Amino acid sequence: MKVTIVGTGYVGLVTGACLAEIGNDVFCVDVDPRKIEILNNGGVPIHEPGLQEMLRRTRAAGRIQFSTDVKASVEHGDVQFIAVGTPPDEDGSADLQYVLAAARNIGKYSNGFKVIVDKSTVPVGTALQVKRVVDEELKARGLGGSEKHGFSVVSNPEFLKEGAAVDDFMRPDRIVIGIDDDRAGNLAREKMKRLYAPFNRNHERTLYMDVFSAEFTKYAANAMLATRISFMNDLSNLADTVGADIESVRRGIGSDPRIGYHFLYAGCGYGGSCFPKDVQALAQTARENGHTLRVLEAVEAVNRDQKEVLVNKIVKRMGEDLRGRTFAVWGLAFKPNTDDMREASSRRIIESLLERGATVRGYDPVAREEAERVFALDLADRPDELKRLHFVKTQQDALTDADALVIVTEWKEFKSPDFWHLKSALKAPVIFDGRNLYEPEAMAEMGIDYFAIGRPHVELDRNGSSN
């Protein structure tokens, strides 16, 4: 099938690469010429495991192309995926300007029946707005009501985890398709069924529903996962106060099959491109319709406060004035296996340390360049703080002569470091762990003053041993 992907971000690139991998003829378009140049030169503008190799194969086979030519992209694909960004607006609602601009271009250049697929995460009712915009453009061309130039708008939300997006697309646990129950919708259903047939050979994974429900499903899924994270983070702070171990609690409740273990890890808050903006957007949709989603309001508030918990532990241990102190920070991306810095906890934590006068040396296996770009923007009006922020190439470079280690992202390479070497590199053996990677008792036995999230702090005696 001939498929067009509008937008070459995480969702667009993964969708395009995977559909090309299974034999489709894919045209990826983007208004950013820098991205297209990178892609046409064999590079990838994002870090996603397995994506570059897949793009190399499909490009060599001639099944995927990249361009800024909007007219050619619309003429190419019978199925037009809109996979552009929907950043949060000032009130928390999703900004649909890029989605509607893509829809307008489809109507402007349409050369036959098109299935227009909303792949971007969009609020309930977006498909109606897309339909209206395309209708306006077709009527302006004198094509309104023409069956030949008809179209159907489909909602097909993505459920991809950054860092595992390729596997998620190729082995989906479900494919949600919202579609109208009319003649155009029936034609679109057949095309979508054919497109996704390779993913349904073992068993049917596609869930068909109305468009509103499909749009709602994406937000509901992310809101549920964010709720589990904030729930555990809220409990972890109480565990700190009453002396419970949140890891023991996690195992105790996760063993209940009604609850399960997924997304029950306490930490220093969630980030990324999905959870923060989707929780805000769903809460705003509720307000616009006269409702208050009280649980989601609390989820967002807990997550906002959780990003300061680790800093509060640092201040309690080392004082409010951190001038002359240097902190090694391991992990900058919002999660492992990505270079995505959007809403990353490291941004809040590092800025809080800098505000108190500290020097920070940050290390991340893949997010260094993106972190440099982001912090240059975040701290553009605070040059003194920016001078005290350094991004280094190795874990060791971050540790040397630092007053403490702060762990923010749970990369695998941080899980089993050489602790004796770590102790000798630091000025003092102190770790503030925002992801609970280590066992407090084991750290104390090695003479490391270890502070985690919702886990007991084991005091060390003057000789550096646990009491």
Confidence class for position 462, pLDDT limits 50, 70, 90: low
Give me the mean pLDDT over the 350-366 stretch.
98
Compute the mean pLDDT over every residue in the chain, rounded to the nearest whole number.
94
415 is in an annotated binding site: no
For residues 355-382, average pLDDT: 97
Confidence of residue 147 (pLDDT cuts 50, 70, 90): low
User: Taking the model in full, what pTM does it have?
Assistant: 0.91
Residue 432: how many other CB atoms lie within 10 Å: 25
Q: Which amino acid is it at 99?
A: V
pLDDT at 203: 85
- pLDDT of the residue at 87: 87
Q: Which of 18, 28, 268, 274 is catalytic?
A: 274
165-170 mean pLDDT: 96
Question: What is the model's pLDDT at position 282?
Answer: 94
212 in a known ligand binding site: no
Q: How far apart are CA 131 and CA 144, in angstroms?
A: 12
Q: Is 37 annotated as a binding residue?
A: no
Structure token digits, residue 293: 């989603």
Concatenate the DSSP letters of all residues of 142-190 into one string: T-TT-STT-EEEEE----PPTTSHHHHHHS-S-EEEE--SSHHHHHHHH
- Is residue 465 pLDDT above 70, yes or no? no
Q: What's the number of CA atoms in the CB half-sphere (13 Å) around residue 182? A: 8
Annotated binding residue at 264?
Answer: yes
The per-residue pLDDT for range 215-260, each reduced to its tens digit, is 999 999 999 999 999 999 999 999 999 999 999 999 999 999 999 9
Q: Would you place residue 460 in the very low, low, confident or very high pLDDT band (cuts 50, 70, 90)?
A: confident
Tens of pLDDT, residue by residue over 408-433, are 999 999 999 999 999 999 999 999 99
pLDDT at 404 over 70: yes
Does the annotation place 357 within a ligand binding site? no
Q: Quote the percentage of the chain above a pLDDT of 90.
A: 92
Is the predicted pLDDT of residue 464 greater than 60, yes or no?
A: no
Say what percent of the chain tops pLDDT 70: 97
Residue 353 to residues 20, 147, 346, 429: CA-CA distances in angstroms?
46, 61, 10, 19
Mean pLDDT of the region 45-64: 96
For range 171-186, the mean pLDDT: 93
- Write down the pLDDT at residue 88: 83
pLDDT beyond 70 at 378: yes
Q: Output the pLDDT for position 143.
A: 84
Residue 335 counted as an annotated binding residue: yes
pLDDT digits (tens, 9 = 90+) for 316-348: 999 999 999 999 999 999 999 999 999 999 999
Please write the tens of the pLDDT for every residue from 58-93.
999 999 999 999 999 999 999 999 999 998 887 888
- Tell me what pLDDT residue 466 has: 58
CA-based nearest residue to 433, from 297, 319, 330, 316:
330
Residue 84 contacts residue 182 (beta carbons within 8 Å): no
- DSSP 8-state secondary structure symbol assigned to residue 263: T
What are the chain's domains? 2-209 (3.40.50.720), 219-305 (1.10.1040.10), 307-451 (3.40.50.720)
The yes-or-no answer on residue 28 being catalytic is no
